[in-house]
Amino acid sequence: MATWFLKSRSVLQCVKTRAGLHQIICNRSLKGASLHSKALQLEDDLDYSENEAWYFPGGAVPFTSKINFIADSSEERIHCYRVLDNSGHHMLSNTSKLISKELAVQLYSSMVTLQMMDTVFNEVQRQGRTSFYMTSHGEEAINIASAAALSNEDIILPQYREHGVLLWRGFSLQEFANQLFANKADKGKGRQMPMHYGSNKHNYITVSSPLGTQIPQAVGVAYSLKMEKKDACVVTYFGDGTTSEGDFHAGLNFAAVLEVPVIFFCRNNGWAISTPVTEQFRSDGIAVKGRAYGIPSIRVDGNDALAIYDAMQEARKIAIKEQKPILIEALTYRVGHHSTSDDSTKYRAREEIEQWKADRNPISRYRNWIEGNGWWNEEQESTLRGSVRKQLMNAIGVAEKAERPALTDLFADVYHDMPTNLQEQERSLTETIRKHPQDFPSGFAVASQI
Amino acid sequence: MWGIVSRTAVNRGFSVSKSQFRCLVQGARNFSSKEMTVRDALNSALDEEMSADPKVFIMGEEVGEYQGAYKITKGLLDKYGPERVIDTPITEAGFTGIAVGAAYHSLKPVVEFMTFNFSMQAIDHIINSAAKSNYMSAGQISVPIVFRGPNGAAAGVGAQHSQCYAAWFGACPGLKVLAPYSSEDARGLLKAAIRDPDPVVFLENELLYGESFPVSAEALDSSFCLPIGKAKIEREGKDVTIVTFSKMVGFALKAAEILEKEGISAEIINLRSIRPLDRATINSSVRKTNRLVTVEEGFPQHGVGAEICASVVEESFEYLDAPVERIAGADVCMPYAANLERLAVPQIEDIVRAAKRICFRSTSMAATG
């Protein structure tokens, strides 16, 4: 072994001198170091003889003479972090810092607002007044608590069931209603179907329908933050189903290689429309996949607001300080249907839905905790619900009656500057509408802005 | 024409007299004795834009250590470091998505596809994440990204390495699609693409990388830029308009030489820009010559030629003295065997025959049908 030791040392010396790679060999994390030096990373691995391990590209790999397939799953599933027990009592075993009364009450009010907003907007669609809606029932804690643990500088790339995050950040009920009714005040200029919110002001990147595309995009945004050396991170959300998309694997792999501050937050709610997780993957959920890509991961109780808050805070610290990706899997249940185009009783038992709705409700569980602390009572509850209901009715009334987007919103923003062919088309269409108003809908500005 | 003359001159081993010859032929343009390959033109354009703007960075497979699969990014890793020239893991979908995300947050990525055939694995990000974002976000998210790489047929690489994607990308609102021919095109259009706030698909051609073209002093300047959406009349003529792009421009110019000897004066238009399409230049040329032939390597159905034909029929129908002729690749996947491959792409003779048919110098296709 000694001979080999000396021999390898001299090889190292040789490489260092020849290629001038001393700096690179010493600093493993420096990107761009040639494969050559990585294959000869000898500093820490000097315990093996040549018969005990080989230095394959990537590092020393010890040999074994026992044939042994790593099992497809562990004996025990990855444990799930929680702070509150089933009835909302703070578990004594948990040593995490308690949040302030003010924040605690704010979290609760937001969760209730989100729940009510979802119920009412869903109803409005059922009445035929809007075309589509998706609720976040059962995932209110995930939405609100994860958002609360971030700073406003952190950039969010959502999937489509995280409007609670946007709500927390200050998007108003009126602004939500405007988007659903696609009126003139819609920040999205009536371009997108409902639920596809976006707001640069709130650092919430516009929702995009194809699943999982936000994952590699988030890595790119994080790369940009890293280049700016900003004290901020990126958080991207996705469901259990989306982790089957190619983009999930490409994004996670790449984030680890690029070493960027991004938090991958998976809302494992058990269902991807009608596909249960047992038909989506055969791994122990999503948390186990982090290791495959070299990413630290954690599993949390997605119905425990305090656990989510804690985990997100911690993840954010690591992501920014160490400039590396983190994977969080929040276990929860999709209480509502996938969307207003779905009737989930067709593929799952009503009893299952009821049980999660009644016995494992994240909002009532959290309410028990704040009431137990003397921070909330029935009177405040009715006041809150009354006020939110009133705001919602008002917002819907205003949004529904508002003018539709102007004609120029059809042609603008295809490119940064409107090209001549679109300017011509806009002029031509304006003329046609003027000449034949009876053939076109009313309620929007026609005058050409050009 | 200029390109052809210089190449044949080189082949014949001209030296000093070459520059005087060039001077005469070039006419009013800035004269320079500098020649540059398309490869060097692209490399210099990337270098200059990266130097001018620290937000510009390159991403793709083999672009760094390997100096680029086709050496287009040669020397850039050494000059700008691994943070600005990123060798990616093998995932077109992954790195395209990442580049789009970086562009969302104001960086300016130049993404290299080893060939646009592989861009199919990333097409969702190109169309749904890049092209449509400015519109869908109501102007909040602009995507100043460039997708570049070799497009169309190479030589002996078979079906999955030979498709031309000009027509597919050219159909999409939100994208700008460019197709350079000469070194000057390559420099000017790539610089314009990198500076543009919208997503640009930049279709190069592998077989053109090694070709040398003269470049003017103006084109060598680092501020040089060509306008997007403007075609170039490579050769003026009066009998027939031949519209084409990329490698076929060279073929069309050669065909024009042959046609000249037979008394047909062909006007060759190098599109340079597939989207936006310079309909004004095309139509004004057709109104002059009254005949139109389009040439492309790609598949015939729903091709670039189909759009040009429709545009001319819509805007200049009364000026046409003959039906429009489209020359395109064969409606088959590209075969490998050299003889079959040659039959599957347009050749100079095809262009010559089409021009003659359209000038009624020989029997029309319809008559023989």
**Burial level of B303, CB count in 10 A (0-12/13-18/19+)?**
buried
Identify which of A224, A413, A414 has the shortest CB distance to residue B105.
Answer: A224
> Do residues A268 and A237 touch, judged by C-beta distance below 8 A?
no
Confidence band of A447 (pLDDT split at 50, 70, 90): low
**Residue showing tokens 């640069």:** A200
| Cβ atoms within 10 Å of A233's Cβ, excluding its own | 28
B70 by DSSP, 3-state: which?
coil
Contact criterion met (CB < 8 Å) for B99 and A415: no
pLDDT value for A111: 98
pLDDT digits (tens, 9 = 90+) for B11-40: 344 344 444 444 444 444 455 569 999 999
Identify which of A30, A31, A217 has the shortest CB distance to residue B104.
Answer: A217
- Give the contacts of A320 (CB within 8 A, at least 6 positions apart): A231, A232, A233, A261
Q: What are phi and psi of B148, to 5 degrees?
A: -135, 160
- Percent of residues, chain A, with pLDDT higher than 90: 81
Select the more confidently predicted residue: A316 or A28. Answer: A316
Q: Which residues of A touch B98 (CB under 8 A)?
A: 216-217, 219-220, 223, 251, 254, 258
CATH of domain B232-358: 3.40.50.920
B295 by DSSP, 3-state: which?
strand
pLDDT value at A123 more than 70? yes
> Do residues B156 and B336 touch, judged by C-beta distance below 8 A?
yes
Q: What is the mean pLDDT of residues A343-361?
A: 96
pLDDT value for B31: 52
Quick check: do B33-220 and B232-358 share a fold? yes
Q: How many CB pairs under 8 A join A and B?
A: 157
pLDDT value for A96: 66
Best A159, A247, A449 member to test B by mutation, with max B CBs in 10 Å, is: A247
Å from B83 to nearest chain A CA? 8
Residues B224, B304: Cα–Cα separation, whole Å: 28
> Do residues A216 and B94 touch, judged by C-beta distance below 8 A?
yes
- Give the contacts of A124 (CB within 8 A, at least 6 positions apart): A130, A133, A180, A396
- Give the contacts of B245 (CB within 8 A, at least 6 positions apart): B166, B179, B181, B270, B271, B272, B274, B296, B304
Q: β-strands B200-204, B146-150: how paired?
A: parallel
Does A182 contact B at CB distance below 8 Å?
Answer: no
Contact criterion met (CB < 8 Å) for A416 and B94: no
Confidence band of A33 (pLDDT split at 50, 70, 90): very low
- Which amino acid, A310? D
| Cβ atoms within 10 Å of A7's Cβ, excluding its own | 11
pLDDT value at A270 more than 80? yes
> Do residues B119 and B60 touch, judged by C-beta distance below 8 A?
no
Lowest-confidence region among A122-131, A431-440, B226-235: A431-440
Conformation bin of residue B320: beta by default, left when phi > 0, alpha when psi is -120 to 50: beta
Predicted structure pTM score: 0.85
**CATH fold for the domain made of B33-220:** Rossmann fold (3.40.50)
> In A280-377, which ranges are continuous DSSP H helix?
289-293, 305-322, 350-359, 362-372
Q: What is the DSSP string of A55-119?
A: EETTEEEE--SS--PPPSS-SSPPP-B-SB-TTSPBPTT--PPPPPHHHHHHHHHHHHHHHHHHH
Instruction: Give, to the nearest 10 degrees, the angle between helix A246-258 and helix B92-104.
Output: 70
Written as six digits, the tokens of B68 are 């680029």
Q: Which residues of A touch B86 (CB under 8 A)?
A: 258
Confidence band of A92 (pLDDT split at 50, 70, 90): confident
> Do residues B116 and A185 touch, judged by C-beta distance below 8 A?
no
Q: What is the DSSP string of A382-441?
A: HHHHHHHHHHHHHHHHHHHHSPBPPTHHHHTTSSSS--HHHHHHHHHHHHHHHH-GGGS-
- Give the contacts of A5 (CB within 8 A, at least 6 positions apart): A46
Q: What is the mean pLDDT of residues A111-129?
A: 98
B7's enclosing H/E stretch is helix B2-11
pLDDT value for A98: 80
* Cα separation values, A158 from A151, A182, A213, A266, B185, Å: 16, 20, 10, 11, 40
Residues A210, B123: Cα–Cα separation, whole Å: 12
Residues B64, B84: Cα–Cα separation, whole Å: 9
Q: What is the mean pLDDT of residues A335-363?
A: 96
pLDDT digits (tens, 9 = 90+) for A285-328: 999 999 999 999 999 999 999 999 999 999 999 999 999 999 99
Domain residue spans of chain B: 33-220, 232-358
Identify which of A213, A220, A254 has the shortest CB distance to residue B128.
Answer: A213
Residues B292, B300: Cα–Cα separation, whole Å: 16
CATH of A101-401, one of 3.30.200.20, 3.40.50.10540, 3.40.630.30, 3.40.50.970: 3.40.50.970
Residues A31, A191: Cα–Cα separation, whole Å: 41
What part of B 3-62 touches A (C-beta under 8 Å)? none
Residues A208, A132: Cα–Cα separation, whole Å: 15
- Please list the active-site residues of B: 92, 161
Confidence band of A442 (pLDDT split at 50, 70, 90): confident
pLDDT value for B280: 97
Q: Which of A137, A163, A202, A338 is catalytic?
A: A338
pLDDT value for A8: 40
Residues B147, B87: Cα–Cα separation, whole Å: 15
Q: What is the mean pLDDT of residues A46-58?
A: 85
Confidence band of A414 (pLDDT split at 50, 70, 90): very high
pLDDT value for A11: 42
Q: What is the DSSP string of A303-322?
A: T-HHHHHHHHHHHHHHHHHH
Active site residue A75: no
> Do residues B179 and B272 touch, judged by C-beta distance below 8 A?
yes
Q: What are phi and psi of A427, to 5 degrees?
A: -60, -45
Does A443 contact B at CB distance below 8 Å?
Answer: no
Best A179, A413, A417, A426 member to test B by mutation, with max B CBs in 10 Å, is: A413
| Bridge partners for A271 per DSSP | A276
Contact criterion met (CB < 8 Å) for A254 and B95: yes
Contact criterion met (CB < 8 Å) for B104 and A220: yes
HEC sequence for B87-105: ECCCCHHHHHHHHHHHHHC
Identify which of B86, B93, B135 has the shortest CB distance to residue A413.
Answer: B135
Q: Which residues of A touch B174 (CB under 8 A)?
A: 414-415
Residues A312, A306: Cα–Cα separation, whole Å: 10
pLDDT value for B149: 97
pLDDT value for A268: 98
B241 by DSSP, 3-state: which?
strand
Q: Which residues of A touch B88 (CB under 8 A)?
A: 254
Angle B163-B178-B77 (CA atoms, 0-180°, nearest 5)?
90
Active site residue A139: no
Q: β-strands B266-270, A234-239: how paired?
A: unpaired
> Do residues B286 and B320 touch, judged by C-beta distance below 8 A?
yes
Q: What is the mean pLDDT of residues A132-136?
A: 97
Contact criterion met (CB < 8 Å) for B102 and A220: yes
* Residue A139: closest CA among A156, A152, A158: A158
pLDDT value at A334 more than 50? yes
pLDDT value for A40: 47
Written as six digits, the tokens of B72 are 């287009």
Sign of CA dihedral B227, B231, B232, B233: negative
Residues A129, A181: Cα–Cα separation, whole Å: 8
Domain residue spans of chain A: 3-62, 101-401, 407-439
Does A194 contact B at CB distance below 8 Å?
Answer: no
Does B311 contact A at CB distance below 8 Å?
Answer: no
Q: Which residues of chain B have pLDDT under 70?
A: 1-33, 362-369
> Do residues A221 and B67 touch, judged by C-beta distance below 8 A?
no
